Structure 1
Amino acid sequence: AALRLQEDLTAEKQAELEEVGKRLNTLLAERVNELERYQSEFFGRLRDILQDNENIRIVGDRFLLPSELLFASGSASLGGEGQRELDKLAEVLLDVASAIPDDIDWILRIDGHTDRLPINTEEFPSNWELSTARAVAVVRYLASQGVPERRMVAAGFGEFFPVDEGSSAEALQRNRRIEIKLTDR
């Protein structure tokens, strides 16, 4: 009788646990859908604003800005034209971000990429340092425009994730880029 009672209690607890799991999955799915809605709004509005710049490409859920738009060759200092493009991005992001509820844990991911030509300077001993410094420069600039620092991440990928495997000047140029993505943390 004691064993049967324990088995019944265990079965009840298992059923309760399954119900809690279902509710948690439902809530999680609702949050993911909500973030996707804000991602779509951000993506659509940014696409409308940046569509006049033929240099900026959209690949999947990311914006690809050519490094030449933002930086001089071998540099991680933002130029004036790049600042103007980032101003547009910051304006849209701040507007969309103000509508995102605080309990949605979103980030703006800034990825720096280089071409496969090696760099070896005192400031940038490799493409990793250059790509990371460029991503950080974009994050710092966006922060200066009011984008919350805790909502951004900078990553440098060096030459290791090319979008074009070719070796032509055009292929190398396509690989030198900053990728921007609004995502969850």
Structure 2
Amino acid sequence: MAFARARRTQRTIDYWPGFVDALSTMLLVIIFLLSVFMMAQFFLAREVTGKDTALTKLNHQIEELTSLLALERAGKAEAESNVASLSATLDTAQKDKSKLQSLIDANGAGSAAADARVTAAQQQIDAEKQVSARALAQVEILNQQISALRRQLAALEDALSASESRDRESQAKIADLGSRLNVALAQKVQELSRYRSDFFGRLREILGDRPGVRVVGDRFVFQSEVLFDTGQAALNPAGKTELDKLASALTELEREIPPEIPWVMRVDGHTDKRPIQSAQFHSNWELSSARAIAVVQYLISKGVSPQRLVAAGFGEFQPIDQADNEDAYRRNRRIELKLTEK
């Protein structure tokens, strides 16, 4: 009866590792998509910010030019007022000239003074006309500059509109890319799950229902005693025989799985929680790692590609049985094989 209870305990299936791996894969996909989205938002925000700064600068320039135009228009109005005043003065001078001419006819005395007054008035009128002409020329230049700035502003607005349109297209493309990536990842995971199921089914047939070898969730488990002597990391002859079967199944699996699926066979070494007392190994970390590496090296020697193998040591820190008895210690001393993604 005790032997039956022990066999039922050994065949208990632990689904937790597979659930954790699925959640880890999903979390990595979500983090990758969020990273792509945040990078796209960062570059788009920087481009829009630069264009807003350029628009603000142009608006300041337009305001300054508008102020200058107002000043020039005020100067023009003043010049026109002066011209009008000078025209009135000219009319008065012409009237005075007529009067003086009459006086000259009557009396030649004082004609030179009158001529001087007329000449001075004419010179003043010419000077005011030159000032007015310069003011008009400056106003025309300012009008041309304002027109050029308005054209630049319109071009910038067109560029901003085009950029916003490209931003919307980019966001749509990112969303579509994320959707396609999710579909592709789901397909790869589904394909790998199918190959994993076929592989472990094939291993179960090859290795048979022998003691010390079992399937737990998505892992194939060898008890350490099947492959190694107590406290050692060198494979014993019986262990090599079992690994020969595993190597044959792995090389066949390499030929079947498409090369675009990123898979590896992870070999995990585990020990029980009792401290090791050995000159060769100073801790259970070293023993579990050395055993995992020994299995990987043997599989490579049998033709398995090293790019498809990973060795990991967990020491005593991943037990499957928390009890403090020999049966629990024996179950915790194990080599686990897991077909997973890179």
Secondary structure in 1 matching 2:318? coil
Correspondences of 1:14-29 after superposition (within 5 Å)? 14-29=171-186
**Structure 1 residue runs without a partner (length 5+):** none
Alignment correspondent of 2:231:
74
Alignment correspondent of 1:171:
328
Alignment correspondent of 1:61:
218
Alignment correspondent of 1:34:
191
Kindly provide the amino acid, as one letter, of the partner of residue 270 in structure 2: H
Q: CA deviation at 1:52?
A: 2.5
Match of 1:148 among 280, 295, 305: 305
**Structure 2 residue runs without a partner (length 5+):** 1-156
Alignment correspondent of 2:277:
120
Q: Distance in 2 between matches of 1:68 and 1:54?
A: 10
Alignment correspondent of 1:50:
207
Kindly provide the amino acid, as one letter, of the partner of residue 285 in structure 2: W
Match of 1:132 among 289, 301, 310: 289
Sequence identity percentage: 53
Q: Distance in 1 between matches of 2:284 and 2:249?
A: 30
Match of 1:13 among 170, 180, 190: 170
Length-normalised TM-score, structure 1: 0.94
Q: Distance in 2 between matches of 1:12 and 1:134?
A: 54
Alignment correspondent of 1:182:
339
Q: CA deviation at 1:4?
A: 4.5
Q: CA deviation at 1:74?
A: 0.6
Verify the 8 A CA contact 1:56 1:64 in the aligned structure 2.
yes
Verify the 8 A CA contact 1:69 1:81 in the aligned structure 2.
yes
Q: CA deviation at 1:50?
A: 2.0
Q: Comparing both structures, which one devotes a greater share of its residues to helix? A: 2
Q: Distance in 2 between matches of 1:103 and 1:5?
A: 39
Secondary structure in 1 matching 2:184? helix
Alignment correspondent of 1:83:
240
Alignment correspondent of 1:101:
258
Q: Distance in 1 between matches of 2:325 and 2:310?
A: 31
Q: CA deviation at 1:172?
A: 0.5
Q: What whole-Å deviation, never above 9, does each CA across 1:87-131 have from its counterpart, x for those lacking one?
A: 111111111111111121111100000011101322100101111
Q: Comparing both structures, which one devotes a greater share of its residues to strand? A: 1
Secondary structure in 2 matching 1:17? helix
Q: Which moved more, 1:17-26 or 1:119-128?
A: 17-26
Q: What whole-Å deviation, never above 9, does each CA across 1:123-181 have from its counterpart, x for those lacking one?
A: 10010111111111111111111111111111111111111101111110001000011
Kindly provide the amino acid, as one letter, of the partner of residue 21 in structure 1: G
Length-normalised TM-score, structure 2: 0.52
Alignment correspondent of 2:249:
92
Higher relative contact order (CA 8 A, sep 6+): 1
Q: What whole-Å deviation, never above 9, does each CA across 1:25-83 have from its counterpart, x for those lacking one?
A: 22222222221221111111111222321221211000110111111111011011111
CA RMSD after TM alignment = 1.4
Q: Distance in 1 between matches of 2:169 and 2:262?
A: 34
Q: CA deviation at 1:24?
A: 2.1
